[in-house]
């Protein structure tokens, strides 16, 4: 690991002032070059500036050569930005550096040491489609039911094992799962063997192979210890287990101090659902004895009121290292956080969009306005309102509601149900979920369609009747055509909402997403619930489909920019002058699912998510909560989020706040065992019940729990966690000791009694 590249010119003159422009805390983070250092960089405190300036400072002061610094980021965009900033500080291109994402750096290392992993340096890196195709081939000898245990789900299990640094040999009974009838570990082992035969690896292997090499080959590890004098890590709070292990191996050395600098914010650790471990940053001092902590607390983004509100909120978390943000600039333009109570969720959408329209008329740039929601399904109401009022918008980090794949699939099912000759819709869903209808089979159906002069659906029915289609594919297509027939009958007898419920259930589409273990699957199910909820606003299914077509046609006007609509998770790292935060109610935010499955740890992550939302705003943050929210076509009373009460009064102005009321309904129906149940059509929110008529919240919950709670000691199955035994059941949650070794609190309606 040598290079002919030379150091950049010596330290700049005082006139350059690259350190003089920093505040004292930033400067301390840059000039503390020796030994382990944790930089706790709060929101808007200049984290990227510190990281890039530290990189350049090490080179400019000749403490290391370019190739002796390992700088790690999470995204290619962050790596590119760091490279550009370092180049600007150095006055020349940043060449010869080990600067990149975790996976890019590990790919570079693995090319050098591929033989230690059983590969050659010319190994291929498979994309997701290739991984799935290979995994299906490997699964065949085990005769796994792909309908019950789909390959994408098993691939998700394998990737999570890899993210935890678990090779097949390292999987203990506590780590194992009953996915694929308990054969997941063996299939994983066969999958890895097949990858080696192909001289290939998947994305997760890049880090897993390199970490195993560093674990098992002291000579290779020593080589990197000699090469890397300094290690810089961005967003350390988002590291998962394998990333943590890789960094710790490279940083811990016997010939001197661990010169590792990790920059992050424990208060912004919000990605546990994709493997991030906040404990990695919390135990930094234990991992690296003698570590120094520098806190960056001068926020150059938000007003004092917004920072005070965020600080008061996050202070309720126990698992944090602690810091207090304070403004680093004049915040005269800003006011306190606004907390607005509204009657219902439709008024909420109307109120937010009316305020945005008023901002537009006053000259406020729409590109500096954001609506941040907890869950993707919430965006639909705002999207439709903005279409009606002509407010241009964009969905950041995702598609508009009706453009999402699961929504387009469901719409295609609806279109075929009302118009069997809609061939475009039929082609979209005939093999979703997979029914064995490949290109050759579809071509035969097209030919029969032309021969009979009918649509593809009609041709399929004719081929099934004549026996032209056979085997498992024929059985599954028969089920599909039966689902359409039943849906049409239900449409005539019980209405379009129930008909769509029935169709999506009977066609296996909902089951496909229930069994999918990817992080996106729960959000897709929530979107499907919201889609069916939207059906209740229309008299017929045809009216609804026409409405969707018109909504999709309206792109809005780009003049003055667009309002950004996104989830709170997608907003991290962004900032806007004005931020609207709707849906701050118990069960929505904090998410009931997160509370039930994550307990106190889940609650603290939800609170960190609220902190992230508030600190996206420069000058104005507006929170909304509704007394009633329509959830899956039913109006349900809602409690204001506990996070609202945790915001100190001196930093907030509260409007239309009513006393915390006991709701008539809890959220159990929102997370029912069957994703959809037959809803009742309602066109307006119910009248407010008098206090004497309000049913006790706890009484309602107790009654439902007594009806639905599994018996203690009974054996149950959870779609995500597998089989286990119920050890306790209370407060609307069941505690289950799963066969995997984990004990979790889960929603009883998610459990199937065995």
Buried b / exposed e over 566-583, threshold 16 CB at 10 Å, is: bbbbbbbeebbbbbbbbb
Q: Are strands 743-746 and 563-567 parallel, antiparallel or unpaired?
A: unpaired
Do residues 151 and 139 lie in contact, with contact meaning Cβ atoms separated by under 8 Å? yes
Q: Closest by alpha carbon to 402, among 549, 567, 557, 570? A: 549
261, 230 contact by CB (below 8 A): yes
- The stretches of 467-591 forming alpha helices (DSSP H) are 471-494, 496-506, 509-515, 521-535, 541-553, 568-571
User: Across-strand partners of 264?
Assistant: 40
3-class DSSP state of 514:
helix
Give the containing element (helix H, strand E) for 118. Answer: none
Dihedral of the alpha carbons of 545, 546, 551, 553, in degrees to the nearest 10 = 120
The total of other beta-carbon atoms located within 10 Å of residue 712's CB is 12
Angle at 135 between CA 134 and CA 140, to 5 degrees: 105
Determine if the peptide bond prior to 369 is cis (ω within 30°): no
Smallest Cα–Cα separation from 734: which of 719, 744, 721? 744
Residues tagged active-site: 47-48, 234-235, 268, 616
**How many residues are listed for the chain in this entry?**
754
| Strand partners of residue 567 | 373
Cα separation, 151 vs 131, whole angstroms: 10
Residue-wise burial string across 346-382, b where 16 or more C-beta atoms lie within 10 A, e elsewhere: bbbbbbbbebbbebbeeebebbbbbbbbbbbbbbbbb
Closest Cα to residue 209, out of 165, 175, 160, 171?
Answer: 165
Alpha carbons 542 and 629: distance in angstroms, whole number: 26
How wide is the angle at C-alpha 194 spanned by C-alphas 192 and 200, nearest 5°? 80
* 689: three-class secondary structure by DSSP: coil
Residue appearing with tokens 């409690």: 639
Would you give the distance in Å from CA 205 to the centre of its chain?
A: 22
Q: Are the C-beta atoms of residues 57 and 73 closer than 8 Å to each other?
A: no
User: Do 153 and 188 form a contact (C-beta atoms < 8 A)?
Assistant: no
244-250 long-range contacts (CB < 8 A, ≥24 apart) are: 244/277, 244/280, 245/165, 245/211, 246/102, 246/106, 246/207, 246/210, 246/211, 246/214, 247/72, 248/287, 249/211, 249/214, 249/215, 249/221, 250/70, 250/214, 250/221, 250/224, 250/225
As a whole number of angstroms, the distance between CA 321 and CA 314 comes to 11
Please give the Cα distance from 172 to 166 (Å, whole number).
9
């Amino acid at each position: 690991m040598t290079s002919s590249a030379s150091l950049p010119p010596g330290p700049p003159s005082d006139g350059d002032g690259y350190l003089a422009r920093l505040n004292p805390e930033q400067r301390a983070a840059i000039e503390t070059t020796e030994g382990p250092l944790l930089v706790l960089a709060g929101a808007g405190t200049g984290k990227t500036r510190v990281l890039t300036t530290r990189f350049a400072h090490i080179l400019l002061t000749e403490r290391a050569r370019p190739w002796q610094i390992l700088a790690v980021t999470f995204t290619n965009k962050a790596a590119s930005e760091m490279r550009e900033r370092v180049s600007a500080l150095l006055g020349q291109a940043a060449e010869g550096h080990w600067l990149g994402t975790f996976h890019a750096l590990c790919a570079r290392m693995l090319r050098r040491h591929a033989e230690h992993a059983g590969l050659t340096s010319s190994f291929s890196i498979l994309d997701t489609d290739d991984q799935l195709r290979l995994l299906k081939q490997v699964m065949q000898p085990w005769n796994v039911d792909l309908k019950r245990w789909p390959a994408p789900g098993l691939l998700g299990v394998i990737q999570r094992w890899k993210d935890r640094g678990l090779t097949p040999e390292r999987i203990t009974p506590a780590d194992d799962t009953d996915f694929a009838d308990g054969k997941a570990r063996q299939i994983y082992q066969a999958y890895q063997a097949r990858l080696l035969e192909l001289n290939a690896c998947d994305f997760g292997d890049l880090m897993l192979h390199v970490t195993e090499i560093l674990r098992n080959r002291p000579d290779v590890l020593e080589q990197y210890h000699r090469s890397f004098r300094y290690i810089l890590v961005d967003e350390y709070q988002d590291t998962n287990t394998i990333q943590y292990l890789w960094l710790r191996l490279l940083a811990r050395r016997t010939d001197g101090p661990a010169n590792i600098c990790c920059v992050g914010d424990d208060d912004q650790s919000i990605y546990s659902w994709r493997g991030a471990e906040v404990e990695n940053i919390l135990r930094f001092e234990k991992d690296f004895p003698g570590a120094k902590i520098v806190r960056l607390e001068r926020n150059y983004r938000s007003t004092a009121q917004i920072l005070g509100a965020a600080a008061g909120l996050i202070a309720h978390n126990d698992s944090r290292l602690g810091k207090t943000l304070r403004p680093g600039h004049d915040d005269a333009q800003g006011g306190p956080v606004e907390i607005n109570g509204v009657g219902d969720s439709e008024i909420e959408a109307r109120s937010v969009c009316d305020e945005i329209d008023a901002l537009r008329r006053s000259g406020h740039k729409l590109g500096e306005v954001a609506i941040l929601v907890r869950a993707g399904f919430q965006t639909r109401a705002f999207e439709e309102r903005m279409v009606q009022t002509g407010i241009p918008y964009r969905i950041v980090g995702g598609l508009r509601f009706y453009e999402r794949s699961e929504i387009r699939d469901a719409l295609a099912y609806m279109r075929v149900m009302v118009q069997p000759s809609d061939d475009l819709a039929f082609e979209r869903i005939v093999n979703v979920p997979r029914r064995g209808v490949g290109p050759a089979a579809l071509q035969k159906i097209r030919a029969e369609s032309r021969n009979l002069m009918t649509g593809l659906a009609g041709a399929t029915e004719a081929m099934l009747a004549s026996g032209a289609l056979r085997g498992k594919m024929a059985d599954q297509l028969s089920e599909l055509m039966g689902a359409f027939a039943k849906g049409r009958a239900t449409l005539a007898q019980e209405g379009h909402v129930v008909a769509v419920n029935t169709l999506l259930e009977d066609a296996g589409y909902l089951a496909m997403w229930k069994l999918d273990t990817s992080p996106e699957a729960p959000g897709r199910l929530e979107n499907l619930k919201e889609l069916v909820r939207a059906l209740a606003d229309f008299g017929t299914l045809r009216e609804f489909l026409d409405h969707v077509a018109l909504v999709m046609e309206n792109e809005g006007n780009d003049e003055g920019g667009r309002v950004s609509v996104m989830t709170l998770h997608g907003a991290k790292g962004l900032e806007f002058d004005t931020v609207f935060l709707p849906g701050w109610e118990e069960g929505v935010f904090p998410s009931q699912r997160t509370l039930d499955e994550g307990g106190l740890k889940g609650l603290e992550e939800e609170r960190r998510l609220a902190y992230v939302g508030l600190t996206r705003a420069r000058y104005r943050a507006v929170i909304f909560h509704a007394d009633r929210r329509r959830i899956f076509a039913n109006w349900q009373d809602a409690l204001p989020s506990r996070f609202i009460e945790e915001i100190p009064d001196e930093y907030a102005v509260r409007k239309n706040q009513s006393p915390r009321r006991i709701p008539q309904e809890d959220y159990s129906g929102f997370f029912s065992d069957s994703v959809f149940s037959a809803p009742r059509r309602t066109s307006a929110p119910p009248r407010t019940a008098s206090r004497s008529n309000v049913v006790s919240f706890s009484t309602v919950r107790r009654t439902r729990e007594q009806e639905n709670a599994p018996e203690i000691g009974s054996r149950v199955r959870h779609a995500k966690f597998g089989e286990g035994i119920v050890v306790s059941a209370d407060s609307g949650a069941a505690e289950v000791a799963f066969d995997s070794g984990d004990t979790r609190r889960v929603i009883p309606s998610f459990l199937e009694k065995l």
